[in-house]
């Protein structure tokens, strides 16, 4: 009986995934927490249905910090930043983590000593199931009325952000060299600002280059939502189409959820590692 039980256990374990990477979504929430009650509830339910299929979700434009907690799917925890912004406009970052898939080690605001950011980044330190450790940094680059110049200045300042988190000690005194930034950059990765950033560190990659913002009619407009990471330290890969609308048509999605679709990336502790066979990030959606 014992031998049979052990054999069954080994069979089950052999069928489980041998990897400990994770699927992550970056999502601009379009003033999340504002609006009429019915709109907020529909948005809450719609995002929850999408987010439940991810291990990590980086949210931008969270206007009500409690809303990130309300919409977090069952089994997730939410880390929410302090209020960000200059003048009367304020928003928060929020990072949702699936318990059991990824373990949160800590959270930290970027101190922004040079005042480079309108909304300084926020990050969580996490460990995957095999002990791979990462800083996941959330960013919403300024849009504003100054054209591309202030946006490019914030992209350039990312070199300091990456260095800061790579050197930042955890409570146990250790550091994490794997740092990834995800969010709404309000610039395409083909912009000269990213080329200048790679001139500082040629190992940096920024992707994907797909239209992720939606115009008022729900048509794809601009490529603004990306991941940034060092391909010498970790890997991030993308499906042919990494956008996730939860299976909704983009005009319905625009009217219900956001003016940005979510962008999914498969994160690995090993540089250049491809996702395992059968891994779908984003998941295949009915109607998509």
Q: Is there a domain that residue 287 lies in? A: no
- Domain residues for the domain of 122 are 20-268
Task: Give the mean pLDDT of the chain.
Answer: 93
pLDDT digits (tens, 9 = 90+) for 170-193: 999 999 999 999 999 999 999 999
Q: Is there a domain that residue 277 lies in? A: no
pTM of the entire predicted model: 0.93
Q: What is the CATH number of the domain that holds 83?
A: 3.60.10.10
Phi, psi of 112 (to 5 degrees): 50, 60
CB-based burial, 235-247: b 16+ in 10 Å, e otherwise: bbbbbeebbbbbe
What pLDDT score was predicted for residue 151?
97
pLDDT digits (tens, 9 = 90+) for 197-228: 999 999 999 999 999 999 999 999 999 999 99
Give the residue with greater pLDDT, 1 vs 268. 268
What pLDDT score was predicted for residue 39?
97
Q: What is the SS3 assignment for 191?
A: coil
Q: Is there a domain that residue 57 lies in? A: yes
Count other C-beta atoms under 10 Å from residue 225's C-beta.
27
Instruction: Give the max Cα distance, the chain.
Output: 73
Q: Is there a domain that residue 66 lies in? A: yes
Confidence of residue 19 (pLDDT cuts 50, 70, 90): very low
CA distance 80 to 96: 9
CA distance 107 to 104: 8
pLDDT digits (tens, 9 = 90+) for 102-120: 999 999 999 999 999 999 9
Asked whether residue 15 carries a pLDDT value surpassing 50, the answer given is: no
Give the residue with greater pLDDT, 262 vs 130. 262
CA distance 101 to 19: 11
Over residues 18-42, the mean pLDDT reads 92
In the chain, how many domains are there?
1
């Amino acid at each position: 009986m014992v031998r049979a039980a052990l054999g069954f256990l080994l069979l089950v374990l052999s069928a489980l995934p041998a990897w400990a990477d994770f699927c992550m979504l970056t999502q601009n929430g379009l003033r999340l927490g504002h609006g009429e009650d019915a709109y907020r509830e529909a948005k809450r339910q719609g995002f929850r249905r999408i987010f439940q299929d991810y291990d990590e979700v980086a949210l931008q434009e969270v206007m009500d910090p409690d809303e990130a907690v309300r919409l977090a799917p069952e089994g997730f925890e939410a880390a929410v930043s302090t209020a960000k912004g200059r003048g009367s406009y304020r928003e928060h970052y929020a990072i949702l983590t699936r318990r059991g898939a990824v373990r949160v080690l800590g959270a930290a605001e970027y101190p922004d000593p040079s005042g480079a950011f309108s909304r300084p980044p926020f990050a969580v330190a996490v460990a995957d199931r095999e002990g791979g450790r990462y800083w996941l940094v959330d960013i919403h680059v300024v849009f504003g009325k100054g054209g591309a110049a202030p946006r490019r200045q914030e992209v350039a300042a990312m070199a300091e952000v990456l260095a800061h988190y790579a050197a930042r000690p955890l409570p146990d005194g250790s550091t994490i060299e794997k740092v990834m930034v995800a969010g709404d950059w309000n610039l395409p990765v083909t912009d000269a600002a990213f080329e200048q950033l790679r001139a500082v560190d040629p190992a940096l990659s920024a992707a994907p280059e797909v239209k992720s913002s939606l115009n008022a009619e729900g048509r794809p407009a601009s490529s603004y939502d990306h991941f940034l990471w060092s391909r010498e330290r970790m890997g991030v890969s993308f499906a042919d189409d990494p956008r996730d609308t939860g299976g909704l048509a983009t005009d319905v999605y625009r009217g219900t959820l956001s003016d940005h679709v979510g962008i999914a990336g498969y994160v690995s502790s090993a540089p250049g590692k491809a996702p395992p066979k059968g891994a779908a990030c984003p998941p295949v959606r009915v109607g998509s």
